[in-house]
Structure 1
Amino acid sequence: MTSTALLPAASTAQLALAGSLLDRLRATTTEARPDEQLEALTLAVAADLPVLLWGEPGIGKTAALTQLAASLELPLTTVIASVHEPSDFSGLPVVGDDPAVQGVPMAPPQWAVELVRAGRGLLFLDELSTATPAVQAALLRVVLERRVGTLQLPPGVRIVAAANPRASAADGWELSPPLANRFVHLYWVHDPEVVVRGLGGVWPRAELPRLDPDRMAEAVDLARRAVCGFLRARPTLIHRLPSTETRRGGAWPSPRSWEAALTLLAFGTAADVSREVLALLVRGAVGDGPGLELLAHLDRMDLPDPESLLAVPPTAELPVRGDLRQAALESVVAAVGARPERARWEAAWGVLVRAMESGAPDLLVAPATALAALRRDDWEVPAAMERLAAVVGLTRRADRSVAGVAAAVRR
């Protein structure tokens, strides 16, 4: 009887020891060390943009968010999207005394009320790719407008989500294009050194970017000039919905995502982040192709305005460096394509002649071909094209317009 009576006490003692051992295992520290993806995440959080972390199961997305919340001293609220109903995000209808007069308010869930009460926090929407289309639709207002039912989340709340690719998600769905386009997409991968040191008890420290107050105005001006100048030269990229369902569930260009890219570029400039971190963020907002093109455009910010080149073709000042010169010529062609007029088309040929006189003629093949394709049937071939006949002849006559122009020049 005595041994039986001692068993509960012995079990309790062992459980206490087990708890003590678990506490020791969970006791970790952090260190300041370069971590590009963590730096990109914290900058997007500082910019108050919703972030979506993509990664295979077990890669450490949830652990990264937990550590981020602890480092930033933000209360963490985790909501598993796939186990909730649409009404948990759009609000539950509550019938009052006289709904015909007062209407039917949509009561928010408890987690939203607690976030409002705290006034700040990190809302973590986990397992987003396992949420049904109906739940994804209900999340649209939460992510963009920060509204849950009739409740407005305070400005101090930041939103981060996590998802597994559909192939590795349990009963996974592709993200709907409207929901996907509201996020900055970051692809979370493991760094062996980070994992090893973390399991040893030392993880990278998540720190908010240090914004330079003296560079605020410069950062905003640069971001606006870069994005607006790029889209002026590449107007077809302002909105481009991908053709496949999988790509629509990721980052793609739209006016909304370009606004996010502009914000990230301004924050990145003010914080003086590395080019690698800036690339992760910009590509995560508008997609790989458009993002890389914007980054290349940043390198060419000193390129001349295509309208100024079209205004004075004979004396146009073109960059000396080959890639920048070709980019300048392509921007001239794009400007004509955006506003095709005969006088502008002829002026563009004058710019190409100027480029041939002052640089390598092989750079003219692509812009000359594209410019020839813009010709209207009632536009005569300008005299400037006679000097470019050999260059145009090098191109593959891919369409009837180019073939017609080349034939007219050879007459």
Structure 2
Amino acid sequence: MSSQSAVREAVAVAVAANLPVILWGAPGTGKTSSVLALGARLGLPVEVVVGSIREPSDFSGLPVLRDGGTWFAPPRWAERLAEAGHGLLFLDELTTAPPAVQAAMLRVVLERTVGDLTLPDEVRIVAAANPPDQAADGWDLSAPLANRLIHLHWQVEAAGRVDFSYRRPSRRAGAHPEIVVPAMVSPVPAVAVVIDTSGSVTEPRLDQLLTELTGILNGVAGPNRRLRVICCDVAAHPVQEVRRAADVRLTGGGGTDMRAGLAAATALRPRPDLVIVLTDGQTPWPERRVAAEVVVCLIGEDGHAPEWAAAVRVPKEDRS
């Protein structure tokens, strides 16, 4: 899984938890299309509101006379979300919105209120912004608004065969045999796996963890490649390099502390691009993001993952 895929999963987790989240990334890198695809996947209507072309009244409402009093009428995008009863509100280009517009957006994010209309609880908020140095006429994100959002960094990554290598000849070399032509190769992320082998992980769950490891070996490591695996209970055990899940020596059985496992994984050299943690989630976690992208695969329904990591929950198998 690429770091961009991990960010997509993290956004999905934030949306499921109804926590407002912001994606930081350069212009034209697919942030909007990713949010639209998430809405389609979840069956949610998506309203895209571009901050750079909006006025404060688009969020605070326009004053109109109604029933002898003043009513701050919401815009149509807010009415459509209210009528649907659920959806994704995508606030785009926040750092190209003037400070007055950002101030008006704060009430939408904080109170879920647009004018005199309160959005349903099932309306999720996702935002996107370009760093000010990459946005034309940009402003810094205001501190009150920034403090209400979970911040994720959107990175563009190469896909397919995009780099050159002399390790194997190019198919075009026959046309000019006197010239050594490099072949195109695909980037392969460095992956490490931390397996929870504490006493709380039962034998059936260990079997599930090894099944997930087989999928990781096939999908991420690829054929004939070794995967670095660390077993961890209350301490991290020595790293193992394996080609098959059956090659892993499951060591442990004591308490649980995935902080030790993540510290050992990020201390590996070369440092992994991605660390996958296979666990029941009944463990303490580092308070801050570690020096690699992390995906937590949770077995069962009891445990939890840290807020800064992407999480995938695998239901406990019924062996009855």
- Normalising by structure 1, report the TM-score: 0.39
Instruction: Quote the residue 2:152 is aligned against.
Output: 186
The equivalences for 1:7-406 within 5 A come to 35-96=5-66, 98-99=68-69, 104-193=70-159, 278-280=307-309
What is the Cα deviation at residue 117 of structure 1?
Answer: 0.4
**Contact 1:136-1:176 at 8 Å conserved across structures:** yes
**Contact 1:53-1:187 at 8 Å conserved across structures:** yes
- Percent identical among aligned pairs is 55
How far apart are the structure 2 equivalents of 1:158 and 1:74? Answer: 9
**Contact 1:43-1:268 at 8 Å conserved across structures:** no
- SS of 1:143's equivalent in the other structure is helix
Going from structure 1 to structure 2, the CA distance change for 1:112 and 1:279 (only over 3 Å counts) comes to: closer
Q: What do the CA deviations read for 1:233-292 (whole angstroms, capped 9, x no partner)?
A: xxxxxxxxxxxxxxxxxxxxxxxxxxxx9xxxxx997586777xx4347xxxxxxxxxxx
How far apart are the structure 1 equivalents of 2:76 and 2:42? Answer: 23
Name the amino acid aligned to 1:164. Answer: N
Higher Cα radius of gyration? 1
Name the amino acid aligned to 1:279. Answer: W
Q: What do the CA deviations read for 1:299-318 (whole angstroms, capped 9, x no partner)?
A: xxxxxxxxxxxxxxxxxxxx
- SS of 1:279's equivalent in the other structure is coil
Going from structure 1 to structure 2, the CA distance change for 1:37 and 1:194 (only over 3 Å counts) comes to: farther
**Contact 1:89-1:148 at 8 Å conserved across structures:** yes
Q: What do the CA deviations read for 1:202-240 (whole angstroms, capped 9, x no partner)?
A: xxxxxxxxxxxxxxxxxxxxxxxxxxxxxxxxxxxxxxx
The answer to which structure has the higher helix fraction is 1
Name the amino acid aligned to 1:48. Answer: N
Unaligned runs of 5+ in 1: 1-30, 197-260, 262-266, 282-411
What is the Cα deviation at residue 182 of structure 1?
Answer: 0.6
How far apart are the structure 2 equivalents of 1:106 and 1:177? Answer: 26
Instruction: Quote the residue 2:261 is aligned against.
Output: none
Q: What do the CA deviations read for 1:102-144 (whole angstroms, capped 9, x no partner)?
A: xx11111111001000111111111111001100110111001
How far apart are the structure 1 equivalents of 2:102 and 2:120? Answer: 22
**Contact 1:186-1:280 at 8 Å conserved across structures:** no
How far apart are the structure 2 equivalents of 1:268 and 1:174? Answer: 36
- SS of 1:94's equivalent in the other structure is strand
The answer to which structure has the higher strand fraction is 2
Name the amino acid aligned to 1:46. Answer: A
Going from structure 1 to structure 2, the CA distance change for 1:133 and 1:119 (only over 3 Å counts) comes to: same
How far apart are the structure 1 equivalents of 2:50 and 2:115? Answer: 18
What is the Cα deviation at residue 35 of structure 1?
Answer: 2.6
How far apart are the structure 1 equivalents of 2:117 and 2:54? Answer: 18
RMSD after superposition: 3.1
Going from structure 1 to structure 2, the CA distance change for 1:131 and 1:273 (only over 3 Å counts) comes to: same
What is the Cα deviation at residue 96 of structure 1?
Answer: 3.6
- SS of 1:93's equivalent in the other structure is strand
Going from structure 1 to structure 2, the CA distance change for 1:136 and 1:95 (only over 3 Å counts) comes to: same
Unaligned runs of 5+ in 2: 163-288, 290-295, 311-320
- SS of 2:308's equivalent in the other structure is helix
How far apart are the structure 2 equivalents of 1:34 and 1:171? Answer: 27
Name the amino acid aligned to 1:155. Answer: D
Q: What do the CA deviations read for 1:328-357 (whole angstroms, capped 9, x no partner)?
A: xxxxxxxxxxxxxxxxxxxxxxxxxxxxxx
How far apart are the structure 1 equivalents of 2:18 and 2:161? Answer: 28
How far apart are the structure 2 equivalents of 1:34 and 1:274? Answer: 19
**Contact 2:4-2:157 at 8 Å conserved across structures:** no
